[in-house]
Structure 1
């Protein structure tokens, strides 16, 4: 059975009513037959049938044992980090999402957990960063926003030999393209806000573990801290997942076309997209993924903030906004938006320059998107020329 068919038919029909859509159990508590005797649920923080359906679904999609739904992607990351204790160390990808960087460095470092940031696209650098205190290796692949690719299978072997967990943020690829647990990872996290939800209408996070015991530990933190996903948002994620494969296919096709267009544009310095043969990790991406995703980043030859700002404020179809993975195309400037919490020198060392721009390809016709970028490049060039003229006149 093909993955698309399996996905659609793994979402259960309601056994009570026959409803094709998963019911939204919008309740805080459940009647018990006797103290401690219930129908599987007692209080909605500890468990909810709608959330349970989502958790089971994401576990199936990732090939894992346990799925857990949280109030946000950062809440999911936080639950994984709670596995650690004072004195432990994390080896983390250097080109990391700004929110994860902030959580690790400003929250967990104060509890005595050390973070070692390395370029995980080179497994040898991961191995060199391992110490006897390393308990967690943290990957994003593709990374946000420079789309570096890490060899999950190779790093999983390093993690196993080092007695450390390997956690992969699979937000950009999704299980439609990549299943890290099947490549040796122990934990997968998602910002379900992005492609899994798919419609820019919710905030959610997911964790999947390969080992049921590890899943039980994270589930304890989910219940103990109350960082749960509500039933309505759980239903929205389920609804989004139903069309995941179709959307990812279109996102990826458009992204490749846009990446090729940008490679030829005279104002562009470098294009970051793992589907291009010019990408340094193209072979690894091709080996471990079924496709290359819907995100394209690029830097400008005019490598300064004004040039990037002029461009991202000149698009019309590409909306300037945080986030990604929805049906509408978005443009963002990581250095001043998603990654502003990372110190400038660390951002730049990881490849996040002031002129770097990230595109999230939606479901619009790709020729319309190319036309929008064309007019944006022309408009931004005119803005910069006008600004430069004014500055010369002022002098």
Structure 2
């Protein structure tokens, strides 16, 4: 199987696997237990916390481990909003956020909060000035993702952060797709809170982290929670946390070289797609400065994405029809609708995403398989719609 779904999940690095196995065998204590076995586990957690903080240019005290990227978003937003609550009830986000953020803000609207939904242009990018115009005296938080996992577009987060700082509005950003792919230095980037995920960078699934800049007020989601300074309930997965930190270090140290390699593969794919007999539209921002190097959003014209995905799977290629968190929904992909595509165009959406095992040969083979699927589809008398 040629795997082209790295934006959904990545295979664990050998480094992460080795660390996970060793820690699971030898450091099994509960890190909040006061005996020596617990203390040994706690020391590894703190070393991992310091490592993650260093890799993002943050402070160790701002790192909180979670159960993954989606939970990171929910806990960060809920904790910060509770901490800022007396200042107001107006929130800002975009129409293109990851489902964990989008659904969270929908829920806040049902609870009586007012949400300003910022639109995006044809490439999926926010105009920072629209955020400036949306800010009010009672605005307490904005949540703007850094890189979109479906179409790959990167947001002008530095400009957005400057605007939020001027207005004293806390800014959270989902950085799960950016971490390890693009530079992420919170010593320079004016963002107050971010979420990252282990499974996007070769670490184990079920582990993520939130960074909240020390000094930003937050309150526990549930009063009385003791783990992670009250940020999250539940015993920490020490092997997972250590493997996350190890894989993050391994990935970030190689990120500049790997990003160039992935961008070259993305360009190769676009070049090859232009030579196909049947037209395939490319979505997302065309400028390398404004798109993720590992994500390529496509629309095989006339073929539904779900059919394309199933045909590619039959031919031995794993692709997706968007975020794994949206699997099972019958509605057209929200990302495509936000970009102004019709229902039929939106349903054509597929995503190729690249990683460590992707090379020129495997990518070219996958694109030939895509052409085979297209030819088979167009030669059918009954065009299958799912």
Judge same fold: TM > 0.5, yes or no.
yes
Match of 1:313 in 2: 313
- State the alpha-carbon separation in 2 of the partners of residues 56 and 335 from structure 1: 30
User: 4+ residue runs of structure 1 moved beyond 6 angstroms?
Assistant: 38-42, 215-221
Can you give the 5+ residue segments of structure 1 that lack an aligned partner in the other structure? 1-20, 33-37, 286-291, 320-330
Provide the aligned length of Structure 1 versus Structure 2: 338
2:242 maps to 235
Which residue does 1:74 correspond to in 2? 70
SS of the residue aligned with 1:177?
A: coil
- Does structure 2 conserve the Cα–Cα contact (< 8 Å) formed by 1:335 and 1:347? no
| Native 8 Å contact 1:335 1:356 kept in 2 | no
Are the aligned partners of 1:307 and 1:380 in contact in 2 as well (CA < 8 Å)? no
- Mark the CA change 1:109 to 1:25 in structure 2 (over 3 Å): closer, same or farther: farther
Q: Distance in 1 between matches of 2:37 and 2:29?
A: 14
Matched-pair contact (CA < 8 Å) for 2:141–2:169 = yes
For 2:89 and 2:329, the matched residues in 1 are separated by 24
Contact 1:71 1:228 in 2 (8 A): no
Which residue in 2 is equivalent to 1:10?
none
CA contact (8 A) 1:251 1:361 kept: no
Q: Residues of 2 paired with 1:210 and 1:170: CA distance? A: 15
In the TM superposition, residue 140 of structure 1 has moved relative to its aligned partner by 1.6
For residue 366 of structure 1, the aligned residue among 354, 359, 378 is 359
Structure 2 counterpart SS, 1:368: helix
- The residue aligned with 1:270 is 281
- For residue 202 of structure 1, the aligned residue among 199, 205, 213 is 205
What SS is found at the alignment partner of 2:247?
helix
2:53 is aligned with 1:59 = yes
The match for 2:170 is 165
TM-score (norm 2): 0.73
Q: Name which of 33, 43, 48 aligns with 1:49.
A: 43
**Contact 2:312/2:370 (<8 A) preserved:** no
Residue number in structure 2 paired with 1:112: 112
Q: Could you give the per-residue CA deviations for residues 214-263 of structure 1, whole angstroms, max 9, x where no partner exists? A: 48979978554415641111122123123203654336513432344224
* Greater RCO, 1 or 2 (C-alpha within 8 Å, sep 6+): 2
- 1:371/1:345 CA distance change after superposition, 3 Å: closer
SS of 1:68's partner is strand
Equivalent-residue separation in structure 2 for 1:346 and 1:48 (angstroms): 42
Change over 3 Å in CA distance of 1:131–1:311 after alignment to 2: farther
Q: 1:299 to 1:29 in 2, by over 3 A?
A: closer
Contact 2:93 2:143 in 1 (8 A): yes
**What does residue range 80-229 of structure 1 map to in structure 2 within 5 Å?**
80-82=76-78, 83-85=80-82, 88-106=89-107, 108-118=108-118, 119=120, 121-174=126-179, 177-179=182-184, 181=186, 182-195=188-201, 198=202, 201-212=204-215, 214=217, 222-224=228-230, 225-227=232-234, 229=236
Describe the shift of the 1:373–1:110 C-alpha distance in structure 2 as closer, same or farther (beyond 3 A). Answer: same
**Structure 1 Cα separation of the partners of residues 368 and 324 of structure 2:** 23
TM-score after normalising by structure 1 = 0.72
Q: Show structure 2 runs of 5+ residues with no match.
A: 1-21
Q: Quote how far apart the aligned CAs of 1:178 are.
A: 2.2
| In 2, Cα distance between equivalents of 1:158 and 1:58 | 27
The answer on whether the counterparts of 2:154 and 2:290 sit within 8 Å (CA) in structure 1 is: yes
Tell me the equivalent position of 2:368. Answer: 375
Tell me by how many angstroms 1:265 deviates. Answer: 4.0
